[in-house]
Each structure stands twice: as C-alpha cells, then as structure tokens.
Amino acid sequence: MNYFVDKNGYYGQFGGAFIPELLYPNVKELEDNYLKILESESFKKEFKELLDNYVGRPTPLYLAKRLSEKYGATIYLKREDLCHTGAHKINNTIGQILVAKKLGKKRIIAETGAGQHGVATATVCALMNLECVVFMGEVDIKRQAPNVARMKMLGAKVVPAKSGSKTLKDATNEAIRDWIGNPADTYYLIGSVVGPHPYPDMVARLQSIISKEMKEQLLEQTGNENPDMIIACVGGGSNAAGAFYHYLDNEDVKLIAVEAAGLGVYSGQSAATSQLGDVGVLHGSKTILMQDEYGQVTEPYSISAGLDYPGIGPLHAYLHESKRAVFMNATDQEALDSAYELTKTEGIIPALESAHALAVLPKMKFKKEQVIVINLSGRGDKDLETYITHLK
C-alpha cells in the first residue's frame, strides 16, 4: 500500500483540489512550487534553524513512569506541548511562512479553531513582519479568549466568522472567501492537513518532523526506533499526520487516531467524523465529512475547539478506509478526566485536544513491555477556564 499522496494529489479516492476557478491560479502556483521550495537547501537550512532555536526542537520524548505504571505499558509522551506558542501548530506555520515569503506574498490569512493555529500564524507573521488576518468562529472567540488576546498582541487582525455554526468550519469558509477576493498578494496559511491539494501533503511534510524525531529518540532510549503504537488526536489531522508520517509504511506500528465524541458518538453532539461521516467534498478536498442526506454539512460539537470540525484530512480518510489506522474516540467527559489525570500523575496540563488522545488509554489492554507513544499535541494554558469550570 502507498499512503503518500499520488501525482494527482490523491490518497486513494480522497484528496484532489475542488476549488472554484477563482482560486485556481493560487493553488496551482503553490502546487507547482511547494516541493521545489521544501526540498531546496536554503529552505531546509532556514526551517531547521528556526525549529531548533525559535520553536525549541527537538521536543522531548518523555517516559511517563507513573502513567505507564497505571496502564501497565511503557508510555512515552512526545512533548509538542513544549513548542513555542504551546502546540505542534508552529511547525507548520514556520514552514509555510517561509514558503509564502519565497512566493513573494505580502499578506497572510489563516483560519483557527482553538486559536492555536491563529497564534502560531500571528507569531510567524510578527517574526517575518507580514500582515496577518485570522478568521475565527464567533463561538470559538468566546471559548478561547486568551488566544484571541495573544493574536491581537502579536499584531494580527482577528475577524469573527458569523456564518453557519460559527466555529472552525465557518472560519475556514471565510478564509477561503477572503482568498478569492485577494488572489494576487495573499497567502492562505492553512492550519491542518485539510484543504485542496497540495495543502494536505505540504502540511503533513512540515509536521513530519514529529515522527522523525520520535524515531531517533526511541532508538536512543529503547534501542528500537519503532514503537508498538502511536496515539494522536485528530481534528483536521495535522499532529496525527506528523506523528504517523515516518511510520506509515511500517505496518508493525499500530496507529490510533482519536476523534472527539462530544457528548457521545451518536448523541447528535459529536465531532467523530469517521464514525458519522461519509464521502464528500469539504474545503476543497474529497474526504469523509459529517453531512445530512442532502449533503448539507452537519454542525459538529466538541468541548475542544480544535477538534470541533466536521471533516478529516484526505490522508486520514484514506488511513481509515484502508484500516491502516484505527479510529477511536473520546467524549468531553473522558477527555476532561484524562486531562486531570495527566496533571496529577505527571504534572503536565495538556490541551483539551491532546487530552482526547490520552483518553483512549483506559479503553485498551496493554502489556508492560509494549511501547506506546502519545503525541501530546499541546499544552492546556488556553483551556484553563474550561478546566476550572469543570473541576468544581
């Protein structure tokens, strides 16, 4: 099996670029140039320097002893929460801002859910002195207030998306509409492995640093670069794509993708796309999405703004269909419980998104010597208000 994008921009039946003609030149320009740029020596050098000295890479691979004891396995946490700005999102924004600069773009737009991608975009725009506009659902602006403040302090303009469910999906729609209106000077810096080809592939490549480091660190710490299992949460799927990337071809490594089940997969208040969705087109790519019988996109729900999305990236749709990855899910409550648990056992407050990945631990049986890596995609600072509210 080949799990990487083909020359037409597809993963099996998923992917492609279903975009209005208005966006064709922009997407084509990116498609024609992204590999050339990503593989150029100057890009590689700049990217590495910024990841090492600005983001703080490599991020540690930490053996969580007490958590391991509790679940009877050998559990490592890949500490993306220690990245500058608090999540894996910055790996992607550093890479894409360098691409945007090489393409000569002057204005950067982005969508954001939890605000992590918005903050990561505003950060690299400040760093590169570029204009930054972030679209964010009105609902998310309320529940992720600290990140809104950070974006503003970083000099970004935050535009509320007031259409539809007023969350990540609608913020993405607004960003795409803005791009249609500003085709020449604007670069759309997408925050996950979603959108038209080549975005899913480009973002996966930029995030693949996560599994590249994981291999080296596992080899050093355990003598074997391959774990038995990697667990990551999936909103659009960028942290999971990064954590899986260098293991996709190695079928001995089990891949677990965890979606947000909200109040329960079948409660009507859920974002477990792979369980509730079917094939269609969302935000320019053919994938699996939550929709009604007439193809109207369903409004998802999750306590976690970063997972509150009715689709998954086309790579993940393919990993699901081909059964290369196992898709599990966790409810709001299970994620909250796991967040409190990690805080008390390891002294790490995870992002609500990452807490969903932790939340499948109680649902599985392990052996002591089994090596499990959980991608701890982000830290919980932005979610403190939610945590405090639910702690009572």
Ligand X SMILES: Cc1ncc(COP(=O)(O)O)c(C=O)c1O
Partners of 179 in the β-ladder: none
How many CB atoms are closer than 10 A to CB 178? Answer: 17
- Applying CB under 6 A, among 97, 114, 317, 330 the residue interacting with ligand X is 114
As measured in angstroms, the least distance from the Cβ of 24 to ligand X is 25
As measured in angstroms, the least distance from the Cβ of 314 to ligand X is 13
Q: Is 302 in the site for ligand X (CB under 6 A)?
A: no
Binding partner of 284, given another protein, ligand X, none, CB within 5-8 angstroms per partner class: another protein
Nearer to another protein, 143 or 169 (CB): 169
Q: How far apart are CA 197 and CA 259, in angstroms?
A: 23
Q: Is 379 in the site for another protein (CB under 8 A)?
A: no
Q: How far apart are CA 316 and CA 318, in angstroms?
A: 5
The backbone torsions φ and ψ at residue 249, rounded to the nearest 5 degrees and listed phi first, read: -80, -10
- Applying CB under 8 A, among 1, 104, 294, 367 the residue interacting with another protein is 294
Q: How far apart are CA 334 and CA 339, in angstroms?
A: 9
Q: How far apart are CA 365 and CA 362, in angstroms?
A: 8
- Applying CB under 6 A, among 59, 239, 329, 331 the residue interacting with ligand X is 239
How many CB atoms are closer than 10 A to CB 232? Answer: 31
Q: Is 117 in the site for ligand X (CB under 6 A)?
A: yes
Q: Is 314 in the site for ligand X (CB under 6 A)?
A: no
- Applying CB under 6 A, among 111, 170, 353, 383 the residue interacting with ligand X is 353
Q: Is 183 in the site for another protein (CB under 8 A)?
A: yes
Q: How far apart are CA 203 and CA 218, in angstroms?
A: 24
Give CA torsion, residues 375, 380, 382, 388, to 10 deg: 150
Binding partner of 291, given ligand X, another protein, none, CB within 5-8 angstroms per partner class: another protein
Q: Which residue is nearest to ligand X (CB)?
A: 378
Q: Is 57 in the site for ligand X (CB under 6 A)?
A: no
Quick note: the x/- pattern for another protein over 146-165, rule CB under 8 A, is -----------------xx-
Give the interface segment with another protein, choosing from 56-64, 132-140, 214-222, 290-298 (CB under 8 A). 290-298
H helices within 144-291, ranges in order? 145-153, 168-181, 199-207, 209-222, 238-244, 273-276
